[in-house]
């Protein structure tokens, strides 16, 4: 198994303009299967955005992503598979996430209705904070670009 640090060094051999510091490594979703499904959408160029519960960042103490940051994206088995760069981060209430963001997430039929249904269910089942889901919860909407895979 390749570590995120080893993967980053390999990528920097191809893209030496990337910073030396190894970025955070993480997987999309809450299950191995979900991580692989969402990674496939990223690799296909379909998924260029993601959304997270602001409460989850507060519960875990993880920093909210910032524009210009890189991430090592892991597959469901924890293997590094891609590098993305965060382009934009906006925090907005769940009900104000728009159709453009929902489409950029690339899931299902890419509609806002689908996005709302799937994300409400996800946060009710997998949230890392005691609030779970609330209709007015703050959502961290992140846009990114695939840098390397």
pLDDT greater than 80 at residue 128: no
Residue 15 — very low, low, confident or very high, per pLDDT cuts 50/70/90?
A: very high
Question: What pLDDT sits at residue 46?
Answer: 96
Provide CB contacts within 8 A for 41, sequence distance 6+.
47, 106, 107
pLDDT at res. 134: 84
pLDDT at residue 30, rounded to an integer = 86
Domain boundaries, the chain: 4-148
Q: What is the pLDDT of residues 78-118, one digit of tens each?
A: 999 999 999 999 999 999 999 999 999 999 999 999 999 99
pLDDT in tens, 39-75: 999 999 999 999 999 988 988 889 999 999 999 999 9
**CATH code, 4-148:** 3.10.400.10
What is the predicted pLDDT for the residue at 38?
96
Residue 125: pLDDT band (50, 70, 90) is: confident
Dihedral sign for Cα 69, 15, 105, 123, please: negative
């Amino acid at each position: 198994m390749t570590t995120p640090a080893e993967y980053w060094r390999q990528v920097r051999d191809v893209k030496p303009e990337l910073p030396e510091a190894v970025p955070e490594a993480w997987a999309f979703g809450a299950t191995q299967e979900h991580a692989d499904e969402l990674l496939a959408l990223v690799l296909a160029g379909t998924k260029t955005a993601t959304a997270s519960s602001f409460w989850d960042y507060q519960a875990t103490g993880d920093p909210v992503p910032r524009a210009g940051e890189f991430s090592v994206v892991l597959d469901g088995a924890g293997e590094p598979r891609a590098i993305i760069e965060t382009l934009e981060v906006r925090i907005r209430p769940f009900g104000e996430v728009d159709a453009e963001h929902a489409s950029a997430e690339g899931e299902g039929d890419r509609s806002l209705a689908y996005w709302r249904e799937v994300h409400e269910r996800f946060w009710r089942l997998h949230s890392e904070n005691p609030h779970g889901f609330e209709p007015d919860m703050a959502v961290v909407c992140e846009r990114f670009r695939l840098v390397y895979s």
